[in-house]
A and B are shown apart, each in its own frame.
Chain A
Amino acid sequence: MSTTVTRPDESEVTAPEKSGRTSAGIRRALPAAAILIAIGLIWEAVSHWFGVPNYVLPSLDSIWSIGVSSWSGTLASATWVTTEEVLLGFLLSIVVALVVAFALHSSRVVRNAVYPLLIGSQAVPVVVIAPVLAIIFGYTITPKLIVVTLICFFPIVVNTIDGLASVDPELLRVMRTLDGNRWATLRRVEAPAALPSIFSGLRIAATYAPIGAVFGEYAGSQNGLGYVMIQAIPQLETALVFAAIFILTAEAILLFIAVSVAERIICPWAREGKR
């Protein structure tokens, strides 16, 4: 309990440090950059000096040059198509997951009825279901969105439900004495309290979303990064495959960062006591 008393002193201490925030940010990014550079160097060394054929492990510079040369022809439009699938699928999975989670939270009957179904949905092999969806919906964006949602919604649902249930029971009792009915409690206490957990789920989902989009494209598509890979692999254009992979990776990282930034803006209080 004494920690709550000491808090104001901490905030006084951290306040004047704000000017040094950018340099602190650089310092925090340094280890990641160092590791990336090290991996890059080893990669280059292996591909150039150890006689590894280019179709097995293309060198980074060849990946870069094919990325640049085929950017305007194929990669740019493929990236756009995949990005659209990733973003729309991610948004769809957020909506679906939040609706499901709040429904499960507010009714024990619904929870008992639907939770096993949800867990079962995660056992469905997406690799198998994706072609079936492609048969049903054709080469449209719909089967991709469904695959992305299928992969992404589960971590969001689980984290949201945990977050909604994490509220201190005594606080719920206080709400009752403060004339808070079920709806007021959900809206003013449980939902805000669940936000940090929801964002944890979103961060996991953000890294899954590009995989889902590629799965969807593998099952049947006319464009997209997954489509580029299907075309490139039989022709042993491994460098192009890696270029597509790097774009996907960047997309996942950017989505992850976007979610983290949104979390900082939407629930700044949650950062207190976290490093």
Chain B
Amino acid sequence: MAGTSGTPAAKGVPLQSDAYPGAPGAGGTSPADTGDSGTPAASGTGIRLSGVARQFGPVVAVSGVDLEVPLHSRLAIVGPSGCGKSTLLALICGLDEPNEGTIDVLGATTSADRLRRCAWMPQRDLLLPWRDVLGNAALALENQGVRRRTARQRVGHLVERFGLAGFEEKLPYQLSGGMRQRVSFLRTLVAGKEVLLLDEPFGALDSITRADLQEWLRTALDAEPRTTVLVTHDVEEALLIGERVVVMSARPGRIRAQFEVHLPHAGSRRELIRHPEFAELRDEILSLLEAVT
């Protein structure tokens, strides 16, 4: 398996390094803030949860969760499996309602309003097998009433930045796992939501592809900040992408600790992982996770 899965991943690398020099250029055309991406410039509340609890029958999935995610900042949630991380995301998203507590997403409190503000990306890519890359990516635009051809054209401009140039008309089964996930991510972003909720987005990928995409997502979010919540069981991933990391306990899921991540923004993934503060935080979170399970 390792041999076969290595091939598409290796293909992915040059595509991405092509995309990196292109990214600032793309940032130049739209007034993106590549310059001040060091700190999330915007202030104000993006997402606020207070006293949120959700139970399914006798099972308490999460309870007493208070969380705050400032506008345009990135929060990563780590925890043992079954701790209610995914439940929490579904609640924020508006796919589900809490039994107790309130959820506020940019002023929206009802589930229908929250759905309108949140984009959600699950672990599996869930692409439509009968639509090509452009068709899959344009799905949200078509749902919003944009005509098919216009939607495809609009998405077509973004394809290169996602390392998918030349694959516009390929069907999902013709793509590698990493590329499918990038199409899924593109589809999520194209919906144009202010809030991005990622539920173990790279969990189904091999480690090489995953490392690739982590670095790529980090760069993409630096270039175009969005209020992001990432759920993962991979501590490194949490530290790489999150600006804050929250540790949840096993069921019933509660928030055990919060960490601020202060790492140089410019560094590559490998540099960051070698950074002493990164190592220190990783050890601290890992030991906390061991205590929690």
Contacts and interface: CB of A to CB of B under 8 A. Distances in A.
Interface residues of A, number: 32
A269 B126 contact: no
A6 interface: yes
Contact of B93 (A5, A171, A177, A267): A177
Contacts of A273: 173
A7 B118 contact: no
Contact of A184 (B143, B193, B209): B143
Contact of A8 (B120, B142, B176, B193): B176
B115 interface: yes
A7 B173 contact: yes
A170 interface: yes
Contacts of B206: 2, 5
Interface string B92-126: 01010000000000000000000110111110111
Interface in A178-195: 178-181, 184, 188-189, 192-193, 195
Interface string A253-270: 000000000000001011
A7 B126 contact: no
Contacts of A1: 177, 204-205
Contacts of A6: 1, 4-5
A167 to B, nearest CB: 10
A188 B187 CA distance: 14
30 contacts: A1-B204, A2-B1, A2-B5, A4-B180, A5-B9, A5-B177, A6-B4, A7-B173, A7-B174, A7-B175, A7-B176, A8-B174, A8-B175, A8-B176, A9-B7, A11-B174, A174-B120, A175-B139, A176-B95, A177-B95, A177-B115, A178-B187, A179-B116, A180-B139, A184-B142, A188-B128, A192-B130, A193-B128, A195-B130, A269-B171
Interface of B: 1, 4-5, 7-9, 90, 93, 95, 115-116, 118-122, 124-126, 128-130, 139-140, 142-144, 171, 173-178, 180, 187-188, 191, 193, 204-206, 209
Interface of A: 1-2, 4-9, 11, 168, 170-171, 173-181, 184, 188-189, 192-193, 195, 267, 269-270, 272-273
